[in-house]
Amino acid sequence: MVITRQAWLVAVMLALAAGPAAAGDENLQAYLDEALAANPVLAARGEDVRASDYALDDARAQQYPQLSFNARYTQAHGGRTIDLPVGDLLNPVYDTLNQMLEQQGQPAQFPNISNQRIRFLREHEQETKLSLSAPLFTPELWANVDAKRALAGASRAEREAYARSLVRELKRAYYGAVQAEAAAGILEASERLLAEDVRVSQSLTEAGKATRDRVLRAEAERLAAVQRLDEARAQAKQARRLVNLLRAQPDDAPLMLPAPDSLHLPPAVAPAAQPRPELRQLDRTLNAAEAGERAARAAQWPTLGLAADYGIQGEDYRSDSESDFDTVSLVLRWNLWDAGSRRAQRGQAAAQSASLRAEREDLLRRLRLARLAAEDNLATALRAVDSGTARLTAAEESFRIAERKRAAAALSQIEFLDAERALREARLGLAIARCGALDRAAELELASASYPLPDSLVAP
């Protein structure tokens, strides 16, 4: 068997790229951990969860008494007045009394007084108090707490759904990068082999043992390989950038990409299906809609609350029996007629709940179909790997025979180029098949919600 220098270089390159069998899986797991820890969109989903938790806390707090401190200081100018003719009424009486005193030899003791103009607004006034309010019977508040709790659960399910989609997209990008890098390596080796064929063809032409069309044909094959190599390199760069984007790293951050044959193929047995977070999200949203329906029904009942105030008021700030005050009130509110507003709200809430139930049935069917399709696609992809392996074995043996024939000058150029092209396509096909099988496994993993996410990202 004659082994050319180019074939030996290809074998060495593939062997070095393969590395340990589990290295590629370990690298991928590290990238997944980085993405789940630092992806900005996932972080935004986490903030949405925090916001929904705060909304739930706020709804719960509305059920408890609230105490507030209120202070008011007022300066007033103008406004309505009331005139009291105090002088006109009392001055004649005072004058008579003064005359009687003078007749008795005593000095006058009753001065004249002016009429009084009293303003309704004090020039300055203050009121400082503590106000306590507490709901005693408010069914709408209870339904609101249930709705906020359900929406908080829906927000967690949405975050989990995005986390699983992120895992799937990063795996797709990772396997795409592995496939593109493998394709670039295969095409580089092919281009070197075809460049060697161009050199041999030129030597034969110069020696008069071949015509110029042999050189042209060899050069055309080499240029075609170069064009595909450029495309594969561009795809590899784009795939690397996408992986780094998903794991929140710079575009040019280094990536460790193994050869496709070093990655473990998934088992043919489908993983056990877990409840999809999308379904749980819709369930929680439906719970919130049903709570809104209960709140709309509860609006027809009266509400009862307690209100109490204690403080001081007057023109000055002081605490005494004349300035202190306190009030305690029971407040009953019953909306007896609202022109059909509450009835419309109940109808709207019931329609929303019915719509979500219908969506749930449709989503359940779609998720089941997606899982079945993912199982079928994975089985097909695994069979494609077996076919690709057999095809590569045949192509390698055919190419070795073609090399021996060419060395013995018993093979035409067209036959040699066909053998080289078949070997190249078989290598590319097997790399594509293996990466495709891994990509289909990631799709099934998403459809069955079987990827082991961190507990902090799994919605209850």
CA distance 64 to 59: 10
- Beta-ladder partners of 75: 124
CA dist 338 → 48, 251, 345 (Å): 36, 60, 11
How is domain 5-38+138-299+344-457 classified at the architecture level of CATH?
Up-down Bundle (1.20)
Encode the chain (460 residues) as per-residue pLDDT tens digits.
333 434 333 333 333 333 333 445 788 999 999 999 999 999 999 999 999 999 999 999 999 999 999 999 888 777 777 888 888 888 888 888 888 888 888 888 888 888 887 777 777 888 999 999 999 999 889 999 999 999 999 999 999 999 999 999 999 999 999 999 998 888 888 888 778 777 877 877 877 777 787 788 778 888 888 888 898 889 889 999 999 999 889 988 988 888 888 888 888 776 777 889 999 999 999 999 999 889 888 888 899 999 999 999 988 888 777 788 999 999 999 988 888 888 898 898 899 999 999 999 999 999 999 999 999 999 999 999 999 999 999 998 988 888 888 777 677 777 877 888 888 889 999 999 999 999 999 999 999 999 999 999 988 8
Class of residue 358 by CB neighbours under 10 A (exposed 0-12, middle 13-18, buried 19+): exposed
pLDDT of residue 24: 54
Cβ within 8 Å of residue 197, ≥6 positions away: 218, 221, 222, 413, 416, 417, 420
Residue extent(s) of CATH 1.20.1600.10 domains in the chain? 5-38+138-299+344-457
pTM over 0.85? The answer is no
CA distance 392 to 371: 31
Radius of gyration of the chain (CA): 44
What size, in residues, is the chain? Answer: 460
